[in-house]
């Protein structure tokens, strides 16, 4: 149980285009979903926290107009990287949590974005 | 501010034991997670400690001291497949703050 999927797993796009990444909780309803970014040999950096039906909360330094998050249902959140540039190339990982005593997060398999 | 420190890399031989230390300074602390991450893959859950003491789960054990802001992950009977990055993460105000990860290299 507690499986999270992401689509696509890899995407290559041209500079200036927009890319949408989907995150789904397959067998549970997630109260909260998180979006992380990981550069090579670095740790996961939280970008934003989203709850179904409400606006996402962005971490300091993350541009909300560039990284659009839509949390349409309890099982789906999307991250759109708008006007992507080469510096946005990274590994994007989502996670979903079930409300519990310690709010364990279940991670998706990640999306490798390469912007040319 | 929030700060989580762990060593960058550790090397050990197959069958040996390795201990990965993690120190943290975070507010709103509600437990410490350890994750394993292979290159290009998402992290997988290993352990969670919220109370002081040792939690043992097969070959992996995790320890927490809240008063010292300190945790360690102990990997016993190392196998080649244990070569990976191990991430320490503090549950702080319902969000995870990750350390930079410790790359464990297991040699034959």
The 10s digit of each residue's pLDDT in A86-115 is 999 999 999 998 776 567 889 999 999 999
Residue A5 burial (CB count, 10 A) = 13
Q: pLDDT of chain A along its 116 residues, tens only?
A: 688 999 999 999 999 999 999 999 998 888 899 999 999 888 899 999 998 878 899 999 999 999 999 988 889 999 999 999 999 999 999 999 877 656 788 999 999 999 99
Contact list in A for residue B99 (CB cut-off 8 A) is 43
Residue A76 makes CB contacts below 8 A (sequence gap 6+) with A22, A23, A24, A25
> Of A63, A111, A115, which is closest to residue A84 (Cα–Cα)?
A115
Measured distance CA(B84)–CA(B34) in Å, rounded: 13
Contact list in B for residue A91 (CB cut-off 8 A) is 40
| DSSP code, position B39 | T
Q: pLDDT of chain B along its 108 residues, tens only?
A: 568 999 999 999 999 999 999 999 988 888 999 999 998 888 999 999 999 999 998 999 999 999 999 999 999 999 999 999 999 999 988 889 999 999 999 999
What's the confidence (pLDDT) of residue B2?
66
A61 at B interface, C-beta within 8 A: no
Query: CB–CB of A93 and B43 under 8 A?
Result: yes
The DSSP-derived string for A44-109 is: -EEEEEEETTSPPEEPTT--TTTEEEEEEETTEEEEEE-S--GGG-EEEEEEEE--SSS--EEE--
- Let me know: does B70 contact B16? Beta carbons within 8 Å: no
What's the confidence (pLDDT) of residue B84?
96
3-state secondary structure of B101: coil
Query: CB–CB of B95 and A46 under 8 A?
Result: yes
What's the confidence (pLDDT) of residue A102?
66
Query: CB–CB of B42 and A110 under 8 A?
Result: yes
């Amino acid at each position: 149980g507690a499986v999270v999927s992401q689509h696509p797993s890899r995407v290559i796009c041209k500079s200036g285009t927009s890319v949408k990444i989907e995150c789904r909780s397959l067998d549970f309803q997630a109260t909260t979903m998180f979006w992380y970014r990981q550069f090579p040999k670095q740790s996961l950096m939280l970008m934003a926290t989203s709850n179904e039906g409400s606006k996402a909360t962005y971490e300091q330094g993350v541009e909300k107009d560039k990284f659009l998050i839509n949390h349409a249902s309890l099982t789906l959140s999307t991250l759109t990287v708008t006007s992507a540039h080469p510096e946005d190339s990274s590994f994007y990982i989502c996670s979903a949590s079930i409300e519990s005593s310690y709010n364990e997060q279940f991670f998706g398999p990640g999306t490798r974005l390469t912007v040319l | 501010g929030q700060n989580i420190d762990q060593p960058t890399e550790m090397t050990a031989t197959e069958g040996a034991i390795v201990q990965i230390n993690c120190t943290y300074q975070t507010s709103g602390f509600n437990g410490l997670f350890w994750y394993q991450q292979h290159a290009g893959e998402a992290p997988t859950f290993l352990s969670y400690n919220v109370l002081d003491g040792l939690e043992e789960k097969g070959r992996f054990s995790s320890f927490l001291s809240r008063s010292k802001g300190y945790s360690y992950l102990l990997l016993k009977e190392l196998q080649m497949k244990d070569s990976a990055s191990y991430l320490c993460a503090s549950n702080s105000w319902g969000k995870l703050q990750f350390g930079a990860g410790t790359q464990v290299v297991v040699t034959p």
